[in-house]
Chain A
Amino acid sequence: MPAPDESHAAIVRDGLGVGLATGAYGVSFGAISVAAGLSVLQTCALSLLVFTGASQFALVGVIAAGGAPLAGTLTALLLGTRNTLYGLRLATTLGWHGWRRTTAAHLVIDESTAMALVRPTPATARVGFLSTGVAVFGFWNLATLAGALAGTAIGDPRTYGLDAAVGGAFLALVWPRLHTPLNRAVALVAAAVALGIVPTSPAGVPVLAAAGVALLAGLLAGRGGAR
């Protein structure tokens, strides 16, 4: 945990660093999105309006697999629910109301939450949240545009293995969440269920069915007393 007397400038510098690192993979999102068949404008709209990486990757992933776009939206929303939990944890720390809260809500993502919650005081938490959120937003959107433009310029994305990049990106996103046996078991069962019904169900449905696995596991784990 950072020292209580950590200067605001140092916190902003950290925020910029996280923004630069996270924003950089907006390039891969931009390229993968246009490879999935979305236009450059749609790709940029996703980064501007949805602004939460896993949901964006999921939406274009479902479309790339031939699923209905609205099935992609549903998957994106299910993944977006974790930001609600971040918001719950941030609400008392940030203590914002009215227009401040309405504006800050858009910046509630993995990185800004992490950089706020490690700070010892509300004042430094606010600086951490804002600097990281704004930095990631800026770099993420610039990088998305660059990736989308590059993606349209290179021709068939399969030649460059961009279809394989999607799997790698999802694996990297889920990796930090596989820290407990329950989470690892849920990941394996969800993957098996989704793949198992691929031949017989409409595209997009296998991924949504996996949410049912999470729901069932969450309820049963509570009942069995397993944590």
Chain B
Amino acid sequence: MTWAAVLLAGLGCYLLKLAGLSVPPRVLERPCVSRVADLVPVALLAALIAVQVFSTGHRWVLDARAAGLAVALGLLLLRAPFLVVVAGAALTAALLRLA
């Protein structure tokens, strides 16, 4: 099942890229379509953050992951690079669990 998910994602994501290079621009470049396309990643990523950090299975959970996210937010406000943000979140959670 995981392999099917991996291969389908690979095929689908490639076809999405190829479609952009192949389709006449005016077909998809309507303001409404481009606005939705701009908002979809924002909504999905925000939802992924919420679900990843504040839930386990079907329960809401507030634990070391939330502290990690708070540190990540602080680092982003300080314009830290991607890897520093990710490492900061991980390190915070790891240290809190040690304590």
Contact = CB atoms under 8 A, between A and B. Distances in A.
The answer to whether A and B interact is yes
Interface of A: 21, 24-25, 28, 37-38, 42, 45-46, 48-52, 54-55, 57-59, 61-66, 68-70, 72-73, 75-92, 94, 96, 101-102, 104-106, 108, 158-175, 177-178, 182-183, 186-195, 198-200, 203, 206-207, 209-211, 213-215, 217-219, 221-222
Contact of A164 (B13, B35, B69): B69
Nearest to B31: A222
A79 to B, nearest CB: 6
A70 B5 contact: yes
B24 to A, nearest CB: 9
B50 A191 contact: yes
B42 A85 contact: no
B43 A186 contact: yes
A110 to B, nearest CB: 10
B90 A164 contact: yes
A199 B20 contact: no
A162 B81 CA distance: 18
A198 B41 contact: no
Nearest to A69: B5
B83 A25 contact: yes
Q: Which of B17, B67, B83, B92 has the most CB of A within 10 A?
A: B17
Contacts, number: 326
Interface in B1-32: 1-14, 16-23, 25, 28-29, 31-32
A101 B90 contact: no
Given A72-B5, A221-B35, A222-B32, A81 B40 contact: yes
Interface in B21-58: 21-23, 25, 28-29, 31-32, 34-55, 57-58
B13 A165 contact: no
A144 B60 CA distance: 31
5 contacts: A77-B13, A81-B16, A159-B97, A214-B36, A214-B42
User: Secondary structure of the A side of the interface?
Assistant: helix
Contacts of A24: 83
B10 A171 contact: no
Contacts of A58: 44-45, 48
Nearest to A221: B35
Nearest to B8: A73
B52 A167 contact: yes
A65 B55 contact: yes
Contact of B47 (A91, A108, A164, A190): A190
B12 to A, nearest CB: 5
Given A168-B86, A174-B49, A73 B40 contact: no
A51 B13 contact: yes
Given A158-B97, A168-B90, A209-B47, A186 B42 contact: yes
Contact of B12 (A80, A105, A191): A80
B78 to A, nearest CB: 12
A109 to B, nearest CB: 8
